[in-house]
Amino acid sequence: MRTVVIGGTGHIGTYLVPALVRLGHQVTVLSRGERTPYQSDGAWQRVELIQVDREAEDAAGTFGQRVAELSPDVVIDLICFTEDSARQLAEAVQGRIQHLLHCGTIWVHGPSGIVPTREDTPRRPFGEYGVQKAAIEAYLLGKARRDGLPVTIVHPGHICGPGWTPVNPAGNFDLGVFDKLAQGDGVLLPNFGLETLNPVHAADVAGVFLAAIANRSTALGESFHAVASDAVTLRGYAESVAGWFGQEAGLTFASWDEWRQTVSDQDAGATRDHIQHSPNCSMDKAARLLGFRPRYSAVEAALDAIGWLVDNGKITA
């Protein structure tokens, strides 16, 4: 099959694109050309790379047609962030492709209620990212029901893997938190550290996309989570990371109002977003319909990224 991957040089594409090549797909990747995959793989030598500015072409109304003119069988859209962008692509490829796969986010759910959260839980998104992604999902699935758009939506959690910084046990991206845990120093967490994160290894996210393609008939018109099989509390995450470094986690706790005064506004904002969501999503649907089960637990996914940070001198172990 001829497969077009939009935004294929990022976290997910690093694992997804080589896997598609090895499965015999003729792969074309559309990207801005501003980054290379996070890991090298000889399969990229068989990938056609096309540099494109999607935002500019969406504004001009030409991006969807550009994709359609490549005559793909499968389109995997990893970088769609507005309903208008999704609409342009869907209308251009409707009736011309076998499968459109869209990358969403578990933040379409909003705050966790009954857990683990299933894909059919009513949406209560907040924040621009979650609201936009929920609108995209509603549009695409509505078009699937009304017009037969052959679409599948994959909702990743907090993506982890070698080459980038995972969310830390304080719910933000400050590498200093990992440094403190590695050195046995104290770490202050908000509230009682019982809010949850739902990390996932990028390889497992790629695996859900691949399973959806392989099980097209059952995947069409459906949304699937792509998370680890477990969620982890901030406290449990900190203790696991400290233990991996051979240390005890010297944790202390403060109310939100007290804690936020100890970090930058940027870190406080990231933490607030993560703990207000406190996601804990189910992978039962992917197992039942696609036969997919994650390889990495939540902590294992994070530790694989942390190990890379250590090896590259970004965390002082």
Tokens of 216: 């097209």
Domain of 244, in residue numbers: 163-197+232-278+299-311
* pLDDT tens sequence across 249-304: 999 999 999 999 999 999 999 999 999 999 999 999 999 999 999 999 999 999 99
Say yes or no: 112 and 242 in one domain.
Answer: no
Phi, psi of 238 (to 5 degrees): -60, -45
Has residue 173 been placed in a domain?
Answer: yes
Has residue 131 been placed in a domain?
Answer: yes
Say yes or no: 171 and 269 in one domain.
Answer: yes
- DSSP, res 281: B
Contacts of 90 (CB under 8 A, 6+ apart): 64, 100, 139, 140, 143, 149, 151
CATH code, domain carrying 55: 3.40.50.720
Indicate the pTM of the whole model. Answer: 0.97
Tokens of 188: 């202050």
Has residue 269 been placed in a domain?
Answer: yes
Say yes or no: 97 and 41 in one domain.
Answer: yes
* pLDDT tens sequence across 181-216: 999 999 999 999 999 999 999 999 999 999 999 999
Say yes or no: 132 and 149 in one domain.
Answer: yes
* pLDDT tens sequence across 231-243: 999 999 999 999 9
Number of folded domains that form the chain: 2
Has residue 271 been placed in a domain?
Answer: yes
Residue 34: pLDDT over 80: no
CA distance 71 to 67: 8
Say yes or no: 121 and 109 in one domain.
Answer: yes
Say yes or no: 89 and 184 in one domain.
Answer: no
